[in-house]
Amino acid sequence: MVSGRIEGILAAIERGGNRLPDPAILFFWLLLITWALSALLAPVSFGALDPRSGEPLQVINQLSGERLAAFLAGMVNTFISFHPLGVVLVAMLGVGVAEHSGFIRALLRRLLGDSPGPWLTPTVVLTGVLSHIAADAGYVVVIPLGAVIFLAAGRHPLAGIAAAFAGVSGGFSAGFLPTAIDPLLQGLTQEAGRIVDPALQVNPLANLGFTAVSTVLITGLGWWITDRIIEPRLSDTPVDGPATREAPTLETLSPRERRALRLALGAAGAGLVLLAMATWPADSPLRAPGGDITAFEAPLMQSIVPLIFLLFLIPGVVYGYASGGFGNHRDVVEGMSQAMSSMGYYIVLAFFAALFIYAFSQSNLGLLVAVYGAEGLRALALPPQITIIGVILLTGLANLFIGSASAKWALLAPILVPMLMNLGIAPELTQAAYRVGDSATNIITPLMPYFPLVVVYCKRYVNSAGIGTLISLMLPYSVAFLLGWTLLLLAWWATGLPLGIASAYSWSP
């Protein structure tokens, strides 16, 4: 159960957060604040260097005539190129067909009928962690399904959202298998390290051992927090949102529904087999030029969202026709239309979020925070273990302002990696510390691109849910992940177990 003091803190956070403006208006106010700060700080000479160019770091005034003209001229492109927008809408087209046909409800009824209740929470958290193999699929598939599964099992849907969000975003750097983020971070780490050692080589799987064991830690912590802290807090929260009107039940499937489900799963399986066959040849066009499947530039990795669309569309259509739910092609289009109509609020959020993130990036305010934080670590000259903790905390703080893992590491790596190499700390260890800090605070910052989408999911089940509701739900996970994951990294380091393939803890010229 939640202690009285913890409950009071979380309740205060929820009340305070929910007093904030609507998320769309909040992003608008943040845009105005960014403009004002950029104008105030633009004349200031900070004396720090921009790690990207080596030139003096300068805040760019976003209220200058030139910048405002560029902002207005590029507004449409800024909105339509906002990465989460396309990911969400394309994936939801397929999910909408699968929902409208009854395929998802039938699949959940089947799974929940066979799954023991006590294992539901860790299954949801673990699924969220493993969803990173499919890039951003967890945000548009696993999190909303977490709510549906919990509701169908007679549990609070917001607890399902919290458990899934904790796995998908809080456990972003955990996982048993390599993902596209591994070579992406490795490339940035290697280039940063070559500032000191031009011959440095960093293996793309240099953190795989640590991230694999981290999966167990995140699943266990997420399980305990959901069942012991989050659900007791939600016991008095009414489930009164619009999505509860069509909640799935655990009724037994009819013979026709079972047959339709088998055909739908068979169609999905056949599609996956064809995909595996297409990627198997070493010269497959779905592979990167070097033959790697998981490289960031591999067409397969860049096609994850369209593949999610097909993975839901195909079995959804098959199930709809086989079960009698679909009579003609108009029913398929109707499913897509209903999915899009439910995303209207998110599109508004995405518009203002995209404009704010653009202005914040162009102003260099986030870079200013990162550079001075790293310089502060250097000036302290602390023992290696304390320095690594400092890297984790600095990354977690920067993550509250810069949501993209790759963009943030592109800024921090040229500062942190060479600095710590000069202190005798290997790039692989610095990268592992970065991954811990980058993941743990993902789930408590409204500036993370998918955070507004998760707020929308919450409002589907609880009308009064807002930013404060989600932050108060996720704060226990964030604190536990930050503490537990940091201790795991320090313990891993103390034992000398390899962080991954061809990895090291120390570096010397």
Instruction: Name residue 277's amino acid.
Output: M
First-to-last alpha carbon distance for the chain, in angstroms, is 53
Which whole number is the average pLDDT over 38-55?
Answer: 80
Q: Phi then psi for 42, rounded to 5 degrees?
A: -60, -40
Answer whether 326's CB lies under 8 Å from 101's CB: yes
Q: In residues, how long is the chain? A: 509
Q: Determine, yes or no, domain membership for 2.
A: no
**How far is the C-alpha of 224 from the C-alpha of 218, rounded, in Å?**
10
- What pTM does this model have? 0.68
Whether 236 maps to a domain, the answer reads: yes
Q: How confident is the model at residue 262 (pLDDT cuts 50, 70, 90)?
A: very high
- For residue 375, the enclosing domain spans 13-495
Task: Look at residue 343 and tell me if it is in a domain.
Answer: yes
- Asked if 160 contacts 148 with a C-beta cutoff of 8 angstroms, the reply is yes
Pair 174, 439: CB distance under 8 Å: yes
User: How much is the average pLDDT of 165-172?
Assistant: 90
Residue given tokens 């195909």 in the structure block: 314
User: Are 30 and 400 within 8 A, CB to CB?
Assistant: no
Task: State the average pLDDT for the chain.
Answer: 82
Whether residue 222 is contained in a domain is answered as yes
Asked if residue 501 belongs to a domain, the reply is: no
Please report how many Cα atoms fall inside a 13 Å half-sphere around the Cα of residue 133, on the Cβ side. Answer: 10
Q: How far apart are CA 248 and CA 265, in angstroms?
A: 19
* pLDDT of 231: 92
Q: Which two tokens stand for residue 254?
A: 């009819």
Signed CA dihedral, 153, 159, 163, 168: sign only: positive
Quick count: other Cβ atoms within 10 Å of Cβ 147? 29
Query: What tens digit of pLDDT does each residue of 451-480 get?
Result: 888 988 998 898 888 888 898 899 999 999
- What is the Cα–Cα distance from 332 to 334, expressed in whole angstroms? 5
In a domain, 6, yes or no: no
Mind listing the pLDDT tens digit for each residue in 175-225?
887 766 777 678 778 877 886 677 888 887 789 899 999 999 999 999 999
Q: Kindly state whether residue 292 falls inside one of the protein's structural domains.
A: yes
Looking at the domain assignment, is residue 7 inside a domain?
no
Taking phi over 0 as left and psi of -120 to 50 as alpha, with beta for the rest, 329 belongs to alpha
Q: How many domains does one find in the chain?
A: 1
**pLDDT tens digits along 61-101:** 999 999 999 999 999 998 988 766 777 788 778 878 887 88
